[in-house]
Each structure stands twice: as C-alpha cells, then as structure tokens.
Amino acid sequence: MNDPSLTLLISAEEIRKKVRELAQSIRNAYRGEELVLVSVLKGSVVFLVDLMRELDLDIEIGFLYLSSYLGETTPQTRVQHYILPFPKIEGRHVLIVEDILDTGASLLYAWQHCAEMKPQSLKTCVLVVKEGGAVGIFPRVDFQGFVIPRVFVVGYGLDFHEKYRHLPYVARLETPSE
Ligand code: 5GP
Ligand code: MG
C-alpha cells in the first residue's frame, strides 16, 4: 500500500477467510432452499461476487441502487434510490447483502423496500459494521462480518469519490478535513 492517506484495517486474506465463514453460515441456514441475494449498489458488489461463489445454493441476484453519501465522508440519512429492474421476491427467501453499516439508513431503506413485496423470509448480511453505528435505527444483522471503529474506510467495493473500490483490502482513509 503506497498511498499515504490509507491505513490498512482489514487485509485481503482476512476478508477471504471471513467471506468463507459467512458463506458457510448462510449455506447452513438455507440448505435445500432457493435464495434471492439483494445487493446494494455500488459498494456491495465486490462482496456479493465473492460471497455468491462460495454459496453452493440455488440463487438469484437482484440489485438496489441506493446512495446516501453523495461523494462525501459524512453520512447523509436521506437515501436516494435509483430505480433498476428488480426480481419478483414475493413468497421467496431473500437475503440483503450490504458492504457496510454506518447510520443504518441504507439498510433500513433496503429492508422496507423488500418487506413491502412480502418475501417468505428476509434477512441481512453485512460485511463491516461500524461500532456504535445504527443504534436504534437498524439493529438487525443476521450474518455479520467485521466490527470496526467509526472511521471512514475505502476498498473492497467502498469508494471515496468513486476511487479505491478495486482495492482488495479495507483501509482507513485520512480525509483532508482530518
Ligand atoms: P448507512 O449510514 O446508511 O448505514 O451507510 C450508507 C452507505 O454508505 C453504506 O451502504 C456504504 O455504501 C456507505 N458507507 C458507510 N460507511 C462508509 C465508509 O466508511 N466508507 C465508504 N466508502 N462508504 C461508506
Ligand atoms: Mg452500501
């Protein structure tokens, strides 16, 4: 890592191991069932792609394009929803796949959007949960990866002004205002 504004928080190897563990828990929970994975764009796409290849289940994928950061490092609680085609999830098992949980506004939005379509079951899988985030907003994470301090991170799908998504690890970004 040769960008001085980045500090490694979660290595690529740690992520690989965690994704395998999460996939195993999900496989056990849905064994013999058909599952719809709903990925929240754009941040969760790297996680989705790694996770789905470890699942060995009958799956379909769907996407929700939500935005709440508007390019900045401070979360906005107003969620913007860009409409995309969405799978029919009524009566099906649905698992929302999210990269990171901060205020919980995005996951709450995704949850309510899916719940309205009356799935048979609705659960959440979040790779990174920020300590003390989402308190009282969205406490329910069924499959949880890492817990990190409340700092702004990039990599493994997460961006800053669309940069850094391709990094195979998660790093803290020192922003100019810090
Ligand atoms: P929320 O505050 O609604 O829980 O999180 C909103 C969304 O903002 C997340 O799904 C994620 O895409 C993005 N987000 C939250 N925390 C961070 C962060 O530390 N870094 C980056 N790049 N995105 C984040
Ligand atoms: Mg996200």
Domain map (residue ranges) of the chain: 12-151
Average pLDDT value for the chain: 91
Neighbours of ion ligand 2 (CB under 5 A): 40, 43, 99
3-class secondary-structure state, position 53: coil
The reported pLDDT for the residue numbered 128 is 96
Q: Is the pLDDT of residue 73 over 90?
A: no
Q: Band the pLDDT of 75: cuts 50, 70, 90.
A: low
Structural tokens at position 83: 């409409």
Q: Band the pLDDT of 27: cuts 50, 70, 90.
A: very high
- CA–CA distance, 19 with 39 (Å, rounded to integer): 15
Pick the CATH number of 12-151 from 3.40.50.2300, 3.90.209.20, 3.90.1300.10, 3.40.50.2020: 3.40.50.2020
> From ligand 2's centre to the CA of 1, what distance in Å?
24
Q: Counting runs of H as helices and runs of E as strands, what totals does the chain give?
A: 3, 9
The reported pLDDT for the residue numbered 74 is 66
Q: Is the pLDDT of residue 151 over 60?
A: yes
Q: Is 3 a catalytic residue?
A: no
Question: How far out from the chain centre does Cα 150 lie?
Answer: 16
Which region among 29-38, 64-73, 115-124, 157-166 has the lowest average model confidence (pLDDT)?
64-73
Contact 176, 159 (CB under 8 A): no
Contact 39, 63 (CB under 8 A): yes
User: Closest residue (by CA) to atom 14 of ligand 1?
Assistant: 100
Q: Is the pLDDT of residue 59 over 80?
A: yes
- The predicted model gives 86-112 an average pLDDT of 94
Structural tokens at position 82: 């860009």
> From ligand 2's centre to the CA of 67, what distance in Å?
8
Q: Which helix (H) or strand (E) holds 146?
A: strand 143-148
Q: Find the ligand nearest to 165 CA.
A: 1
Catalytic residue among 3, 99, 102, 159: 102
